[in-house]
Amino acid sequence: MNYKELKQRQRDERHTHNENLALRTHRSLSWLNRAEQAEDLDGQFIFLWIAFNAAYATEIDERLRLSEQETFKAFLNKLCQLDLNNTLEKLVWQAFPNSIRVLLDNPYVFQSFWDYQSGKLTHDQWQQRFSAGKQRAKTALGSRDTATVLAVVFSRLYTLRNQLVHGGATWNSQVNREQMRDCVAILSQLVPLVIEIMLDNPDTLWGDASYPVVNA
């Protein structure tokens, strides 16, 4: 489904949604809409990531705060459990299995590669981590463990997200077009499914949304 279809459904059903779900889906859909209007890959990726972030981000007590990656991994696992129609599994194994494999083979979206470049890891250390990560994903693919596959994929997407958001890449750079195309292809199909699964499960506790609307 695209933004227009999802937004119409959300308008039709939002009167039955609790405040947190309504706010999450409203925000996420607004950024999905902007992503679909973007004409460049960098813009599409950033707007799609914000749409995903709007769906999963939660206010958590600072003493219990997880890393951002752990938070969205838990969110992905929850989505897979709620996905009774197996739409995420079908997407992973039917729509873009090759894109995922190409992404997993790309060192430029693997954080340990960059840690090696900055002297934090040895060559052997980053290579071992790279091989272990690919093996973990290969095992998950072989056992059709959708949640684990998505967690590995999103860890790669997160590295690209950091490069862009923290100014570690040039806009429209030719050196990262391959990984940018693969990441946009994956996110552009995943984000609408994430929103759809949330709409399918209005009674699920999604947690308090970050930065709630404050009525002055």
DSSP-derived secondary structure for 108-164: GG-HHHHHHHTTSS-HHHHHHHHHHHHHHHHHHHHTT-HHHHHHHHHHHHHHHHHHH
How many whole angstroms from its chain centre is CA 106?
17
At residue 38, what are phi and psi to the nearest 5 degrees?
A: -70, 140
Return the CA Rg of the chain.
18
Q: Is the dihedral of CA 72, 92, 3, 204 positive or negative?
A: negative
CB–CB of 163/107 below 8 Å? no
Its pTM surpasses 0.75 = yes
pLDDT in tens, 117-169: 999 999 999 999 999 988 988 898 888 899 999 999 999 999 999 999 999 99
